[in-house]
Structure 1
Amino acid sequence: MAGLGSTVLCINSGSSSLKFAVYAVPVADSGQCLAEGAIERIGQSVGRLWIQTPNEERREEQAPFPDANAALTTLFRSLESLSYPPPAAVGHRIVAGGPRHTNHIRVDERVLQDLREALPFAPLHLPAEIAAIEAVRRHWPEIPQVACFDTAFHRDIPELAARFPLPRNLWHEGVRKYGFHGLSYEYILSQLTDGGRGRLIVAHLGNGASLAAIADGRCLDTSMGLTPTGGLVMGTRSGDLDPGVLLYLIAEKGYTGPQLERLLNRLSGMLGISGVSGDVQTLLAERGQNAHAAQALEIFAYSVRKGIGAFMAVLGGLDRLVFTGGIGEHAAPLRWSICRPLEDLGIRLDPQANGESRRRISRADSPVEVLVIPTNEDLTIARHTQDIAQIV
């Protein structure tokens, strides 16, 4: 692309997919996205790469992507074929940095080693995120990389909320609530004209789902804990459990650590309840003829509703509720199921506005303002990467 200036490449790596975006530098508040896309079904027999640019039709390519390195090699080649120059910096969404890293930071060998040691804090996410950093280093060894942590937004939550009721030595070893989806929460605050003044709950609802209780821009509590497995019921993750369930599975059923990890992160949640899928759109289509699918949706909505009630207690009331994430932005029936029983607590939805997924979905007489705001974690990553890598 003739005349294209400096860019920042944002990478959001998952266990079986990889999302990316290219932003022009300087990264303005709204951001100029030059390309975005994803590589899906990594590790399966046939994967898919798609790229969308502002002035061209969406490009798609099907090929096997056996691992993250193969996927990223294809991504780099595809961006070069579109005449994009090497980026000035690469920013990565990193779900957890463990106890050593709760601030966004430029990646060096020490940071990379710390991430390897932090694997127990996010075993579902960190392996792919580390692989992405290593792949970029091999392809562009001189380009700076920045780790943007989902935990950074929650780093100052009060100890009252962060401390587990366990022996004190475990706190000093890093066993505490970290919270996640922080890049999304940060973006949502940037989209509010008052920056999140007052008492706010943000519901980031996707395959991974969490809530944050925010007072005047500061996070006071969040639903996920030590790892992204805790908190709300999710697509394939259990959320919070009685610890005795795990002791029972170990003692009576002979579960090993890896078997528990697979059960809690990949086989539970709405998938485990329904026996059909952890995908909300699939469950919504099935609920009329499948009682288990309907129950999975009901339990998910109940989990979120209960969390909202708890965080209203933390905040001492509520001024604004924001839905975001794939489910929060698009699943109007679930927003209704979550909010309808909360009318006496001041959360009153407008059925038509909710059905149309307008920005404001609460009634004019609702004491609590309810909004739907699409999130943009990539733009948050681009902003931090530009600042930390000092790209001008």
Structure 2
Amino acid sequence: MRAARVSVVTAVSVVAALTAVTGCTEKSDAADGDRVISVTATDDTCDTSVKEISAGHVELSIQNKGSKVTEVYVLFPDDRVVTERENIGPGTKQRVTAEVKAGEYQIACKPGMKGKGIRQTLKVTGGSTARRDPLLDQAVAAYRQYTQQQADETLPKVQAFVTAVKAGDVAAAKKAYAPSRIGWERTEPVAESFGDIDPKVDLREADLEAGQKWTGWHTLEKALWKNGTVSAAGKVLADQLVTDLTDWRKRVGTADITPTSMANGAKELLDEVATGKVTGEEETFSHTDLVDFKANVEGAQKAYDLLKPVARKNDQALTTELDQQFAALDALLDKYRADKTSYDFVSYDKVGDADRKQLSDAVNALAEPLSKLAAAVAK
């Protein structure tokens, strides 16, 4: 959950990134039916066409009529995320498909992608009428296992990073930093669905809101690369990082995962790439952005691969295009590392504007068809 910032990227990169994440290529809306909720967002309003709907698949047809980039969420009462679409530019439209069960929800618009948002209540009634292909149940089960595995494998790597930090071994801590983030970056949409964990462990300094305490990986990144040392207070934050990620590991198994949340999560990972990694703003001090970039793409591809058997039956042209675009992006990323099995990527500050533009274009080319995956598996 990051605000898109454009201060340090070239104009051409900004256009490419925003095209990828705001759906500027969308020409027209599909015919709206009784399963579509129109959401009209402005800088100070969030209007929804429906306050009550029956359980099953629903589609949000979102239009941003404000002057600020916005994001729209469907939230459980405890603020866990059902689905979201970030980085919706002024004057643009997005469509996102989700699966909802009976209960009370909120639809939240967040102008400027800050704060709690402007909220509308959504009541979902009755039992779901959505018929699910058994292959999708298998995909959900496999993805749940994958997310737990990533969390399980992350904790020892984080502990190694924190041990080096607390020992004052700056070189070892720098070496351990990027690997400790791979599992998180592969499955970040699941962590974000809990609402409170992501801001604790992965918030960037530039995204801090007034009065918000800064904790997590990036506090330590700044200390290591900019200051060359970690203070006593920083070492306390290192311990807190382990505590917060241990909490994440315990909660991963309780995440509400559906085929559409998997598909939307894959798109969210590409949004993360477009607004953070391609621009070089994610790892401001360490410049390890390409490690995060690759992990985001791997996570998106894992979700897609699990959903592909059903998506291919419903929309073979879409899966053909996605296969091609994933392969093209993977091949491009391979140019920036020693070998295909290594996460030893070049420092991103060594990647020039032309190469960043090429990476942005490849993300663009994948993000557009990937935005259609949820609708394909919901058919």
Regarding TM over 0.5, the answer is no
Bigger Rg over Cα: 1
Greater relative contact order (CA < 8 Å, ≥ 6 in sequence)? 2
Q: Determine which structure has the larger helix proportion and give its number.
A: 2
> What TM-score, normalized to structure 1?
0.30
